[in-house]
Amino acid sequence: MVRCFLIHTVCPVNALGAGESRVLYCRVFGPDESLFTDQEREFSPEERRVLQREQTAVVARQVHSAASLSRGAAGRLLMEALPGEEALALQEADSGVLRLRAGDPFPEEMSALWLGVQSLGFTLVCEPHENLLLAEGTLRTLTRHCLEHLHLLGPGSEVLLRSDRIDALLSRLLPHGQLLFLNHRFAHSLEKEVAAYMTK
């Protein structure tokens, strides 16, 4: 199962400190895991939410660091792709997978798959036994849709105000965090629904 999906910055942001990442979109799936761990006391909803926020912030920071190191090592120059060149931007994207140790920040070990498209990072946090080939494919599809429908490549990105579109996308392609084995016909059917939503 996928625990969460994030969109965040992977480049330096002026307003933040070095290495800090701004989370632009975050969706956590399923019931709160803190309900099931043996705690001395149960967390209140406020505390649970803060905990969730902090966890996703940690993930974003770690992916930011991994992406920067990976880009530095590869030594490639970041090419600015223009709107309309989403497929190219996706092809050129850096990708990788990070091991999140148990406790850092989730109670169990997790794998964080990430795609870095210019200044944005798209991250899927999965349970470790998950089918990473499928997860990688799903992440690429999600990223492609996000780039296309939210105009993320041009100036004036709409990710912050149009997060409902991402929600609708996720409810089709990653319902409640479930990765789906979709051949091109099933995918086509779902993508038609997504496109219909986006045009509203």
Partner 1 sequence: MVDSLQRLHLILSANKYIRTLPPELQKRLQSLLSSPAEQFQVLSSAVLRETLPPAAHSGNYSQENIVQLNGHAAALLLSQAGSRADVSSLCTQLLRGLESRQSEGPTNSLTHTLPILNTILTHNPECLTEDHVTLLSKKLVDWLRYASILQGGGASSGGFFTGPRSRQPVPIAELDGTVSGDFFTVLCVGQSFTEDQWMNVFSFSALRHWLLTYHSVSNGNGTADTAHRLQLSLSLSHSHSFSNDDRSEVDGSVVSMVSATSSSSRLLPPKERLREKSFQYCQRLIEQSDRKAHKKSDADLQKACLVEAVCILDCVCEEDASLVFRAFPCIKALFGRLSSDLSFARVLLPIAQFYLNHGEMAAVDCGSVWALVFGRFPSELFNDPFLAHELLRFLRLNLESLQLRVPQYTHSFPNLLKFLAWDSPAVVDDFVDLLPSLVTAGTAVELLHTLLDLPCLSATLVLQVRSTCLPISEQSGRGLLSLDAFRSPSFRGLFLFLLRGEAGSGDTIDRLSTLHELLVETADWPRVVQCAQIVPVLLHIFFNTVITVADEKLLAHLILVMLERSSLLLNIPKYNKEIHRVFSSHLLRLCKLHPSLVMDQSHELLEFSGATANVYSKEEIYTHVVWVLGEYLSVSCDSRCSVTLITSCFEALEAVLFEITSSVPPPGADCPAPRVVTTLMSALAKLASRSHDLIPRVSLFLSKLRTVTRGGSVAWCSDEEDLVAIVTRGEELWSLLKAPGVAQSVLTPPAHVTTPQWHRDTNVALPLRLRTLTNLTHSH
Summarize as ranges the residues that interact with partner 1 (CB under 8 A).
1, 26, 28-33, 35-36, 42, 45-46, 49-50, 53, 65-66, 69-70, 72-73, 75, 95-99, 101, 111, 127-129, 131-134, 136-137, 160-164, 167-168, 171, 175-187, 189, 197, 200
Tell me whether residue 17 or residue 184 sits nearer to partner 1 (CB atom): 184
CB of 54 to partner 1, least distance (A): 8
CB of 153 to partner 1, least distance (A): 21
Distance between CA 46 and CA 72 in Å, rounded?
Answer: 39
Q: Which residues fall within 8 angstroms of residue 112, CB to CB, at 6 or more apart? A: 59, 62, 63, 97, 98, 99, 100, 123, 124, 125, 126
Tell me whether residue 81 or residue 170 sits nearer to partner 1 (CB atom): 170
Where does residue 58 rank: exposed (0-12), middle (13-18), buried (19+ CB within 10 A)?
middle
CB of 154 to partner 1, least distance (A): 19
Tell me whether residue 16 or residue 69 sits nearer to partner 1 (CB atom): 69
* DSSP track, 123-156: EEEE-TTS-HHHHHHHHHHHHHHHHHHTT-SSSS
Distance between CA 137 and CA 156 in Å, rounded?
Answer: 28
Tell me whether residue 66 or residue 82 sits nearer to partner 1 (CB atom): 66
Task: Please state the φ and ψ torsions of residue 179, each to the nearest 5 degrees.
Answer: -75, 140
CB of 122 to partner 1, least distance (A): 15
Tell me whether residue 9 or residue 111 sits nearer to partner 1 (CB atom): 111
DSSP 53: H
CB of 79 to partner 1, least distance (A): 18
CB of 72 to partner 1, least distance (A): 5
Question: In angstroms, what is the C-alpha Rg of the chain?
Answer: 17
Side chain identity, residue 24: L
Which residue shows structure tokens 């979109």?
25
Tell me whether residue 49 or residue 82 sits nearer to partner 1 (CB atom): 49
